[in-house]
Structure 1
Amino acid sequence: MEFGTGSWPVTLESGDLLLRPLRYRDKATWMALKRRNADWLQPWEASTPTPGGPLPTYREMVSSLNRQARAGLTLPWVIALRGSDRREPAMVGQLTVSGMLWGSALTASLGYWIDGAHAGRGITPHAVALATDYCFRDLGLHRMEINIRPENTASLRVVDKLGFRDEGVRERFLHINGEWSDHRSFALTADEVPGGLLQRWRAGNATR
C-alpha cells in the first residue's frame, strides 16, 4: 500500500480529544506552551550532534512538516482538548508519527510530548492509541515503534498502559539534550490488536 497523495491534512477525534495538523496560526500558542514546559521537556528534547547554522523558524518548521506529511513520511499532529464550552480545542501537546516506511516494511515510529500540567490524566495513551489505530486501519501500516529514554518514567508508563512490547535497549540511539543517549525500544503490530488499540486501552481502564 502507498500513502495516497492528498491524504493530508487529517484530523482524528475521540471524545474530547483531537489530533489535528499543526498550523501556521498556532505559532503564539505553540511557542508559549514550549516556553512554559521548557524545564519539563528539556531532558528529552532531540538535539543535533553537529552545529549547522540557524534553527528553522516556526513557519519553516510547519512548512517542512506539511511537505513530509503530503509525501507520506510523517504525520505531525497537535494534541488538543475540547472544554465544556466547546470553544476552539486547547493545544496541550504534540504527537508525530515519523519514519514511515512502505513496501514490505509498513512501519513507523511515534513520538510525543505533553504539557506538564496535563500529564498523568490519560491524555497521552489516548492520543497514542488513536494515532496507532489510524495508522493500522486506515493507512495499512503493520508495525508501530516508540523509543524512550530509560530514565523517562512518564513515557514508560504510557507504553506499559498500552501494552507495547519491550524489544530491548538501543545503545546511543538518538542525540538527546546534547548527547548520544540509550533508548528502550517498544513496538506493537496490527495483528496484536485486531479490535484496535483504543478499544483495548479503554477495556483495560474499565477493569481497573
Structure 2
Amino acid sequence: MSTGYGAPYVTEPHRPGWPARLGPVEVPAGTVRLRPVRLRDATEWSRIRLRDREYLERWEPAQAGTWAERNAAWSWPSQWSTLRRLAKRGQCLPFAITVDDDFAGQLTVGNIIRAALRSAWIGYWVSSSLAGGGVATAAVALATDHAFTQARLHRLEATVRPENLASLRVLGKVGYRREGVFRRYLEVQGRWRDHDCYAITREETGAGLVTGLVNAGRATLPEQA
C-alpha cells in the first residue's frame, strides 16, 4: 500500500510557458497586459511602492529592513535577478502588470511544483491609482489561463487576509473558491495573521477566466472594443 508520497520525485528539465507576454484585455482602467519583469522597471516600481506604502504594507509579509530600504530603486536589481533565476529554473512566472503599456504592478505565479502535483501560488499587487478599475481582476484571469494552458499547471491557490476585501473580490470575480483558513499563517506588521485560502483547478475554468470576464461584461477584448 502506498500513500503516493514515496514515489520518486523527478523535476522537469524545461520551463513550459516562460517567457510569455499575455493580453491585451480592456477594462475600465485601460488596456491590461502581462510581460516579464525587467531590470529597467526599477524606477517606476520603486516610485509606486514608496508612494503606496500605506496601501500595500498592511497586507505584505514581514521582511528584513525598512519599507524605504526594501523598495528603493537600488534594491530592485537583486529582486529582479532572483525572480529571473527562478523563472529560468521553471519555479516561478514573474510578470509585470502594465496598463496602457505603463508599469502598474506585479503578478507572480510562484513555488511551482510539477510531477503529479502541478501546483503553484499566485500573488499580485497593483498601483493604488488604478484601484477599482479591473486591473488586478484582468491580470489574475490572464495569468490563471496561461498557467493552466501553456504553463501546464493544474491548481493555483492564493492566500489573503480576511480583512483584504478588495483582493477577495478580485478572486471571487474570476472564479477562485474559498477552501478554508490558514491559522497564523504569515507574519504581517509584527503579528502572525490568519489568511483565507482560495484555489482553482483547471477543470473549474471552463472556456477560460478571461472569457468569463468578457461574458460577464467586466472586460472586453480589443477586437470587441
Q: Within 5 Å, give how 1:191-206 maps onto structure 2.
A: 191-205=203-217
**Residue identity in the other structure for 1:64:** T
- Counterpart check, 1:157 vs 2:172: no
1:52-80 Cα offsets, whole Å, 9 max, x none, are xx969321111011000111111111110
Partner of 1:80: 98
The TM-score normalised by the length of structure 2 is: 0.81
1:33: which partner in 2? 48
**Residue aligning to 1:166:** 178
Q: Which moved more, 1:172-181 or 1:62-71?
A: 172-181
Deviations 1:97-120 (A, max 9, x none): 101110010111000111111011
The residue identity in structure 1 corresponding to 2:205 is V
Which residue of the partner structure matches residue 150 of structure 2? 138
Q: Alignment RMSD, CA only?
A: 2.0
Bigger Rg, structure 1 or 2: 2
What displacement does 1:23 show?
Answer: 1.1
**1:18 counterpart residue number:** 33
Is 1:44 the counterpart of 2:56 in the alignment? no
For residues 57 and 126 of structure 1, the distance between their equivalents in structure 2, rounded to whole angstroms, comes to 28
Aligned 8 A contact 1:5 1:70 in 2:
yes
- Per the alignment, in what secondary structure is the counterpart of residue 203 of structure 2? helix
% identity of equivalent residues: 37
Whether the 8 Å CA contact 2:16–2:152 is kept in 1: the answer is no
User: Gaps (5+ residues) in structure 1?
Assistant: 83-88
